[in-house]
Amino acid sequence: MHIHLRCVPTAFVLALLVGAGAHAQHSAMPPGMTHEEHLRQLQNDADLKKRGAAAMGFDQETTTHHFNLTAEGGRITVTANNPSDATSVAQIRAHLAEIAAAFANGDFGAPFATHSEVPPGVSTLRDRKGLVRYEYKDTPNGGRVVMTSANSEALTAIHGFLRYQIREHATSDTLSVEK
């Protein structure tokens, strides 16, 4: 059978081409999710990466986030995927040093800018800012913010904040407190 392209509507051809390209560019649809829900999730992920790049100052595709809950609080760690990417390493370190200082002052504007909503735990972390310690540390390929508190309400807020980050950034980090 021979099909003349003049007989095929242009919109149909474009849909096939775009559909084929789009399929190659995104992950498989999770079980139990409708196609429309999957497309919304893909758009939300793209929006998060775009806002994150603007708020954090580094490319979300060339870096990796990890969020870990500890008995004392938790850690935010960001690394450059390529250890020789000096630009990303410098951008990560500058951002996380700023984040540690901002969080210590009760300023959670960057997470709001990234996620377009106030993450869980933020109001408690603001209210108890004097009871939480935020320490920035360099790591070989990036940096880390260590969050600690002896206050049980602040500790619960840290854990809620980090669990939210794990889900939003889809890091696959454990939602449980490390032992």
Interval 33-63: pLDDT, tens: 676 765 666 555 555 555 544 545 567 788 9
Instruction: Report DSSP letters for 46-70, one per residue.
Output: HHHHHHHHHHHSS-SSSEEEEEEEE
Domain region containing 145: 68-171
**Number of domains within the chain:** 1
Show Cβ contacts of residue 2 under 8 Å, excluding neighbours closer than 6 positions.
none
In-domain check, residue 146:
yes
pLDDT grade, residue 20 (50/70/90)?
very low
Residue 171: exposed, middle, or buried by beta-carbon count in 10 A (0-12, 13-18, 19+)? middle
In-domain check, residue 160:
yes
In-domain check, residue 90:
yes
In-domain check, residue 30:
no
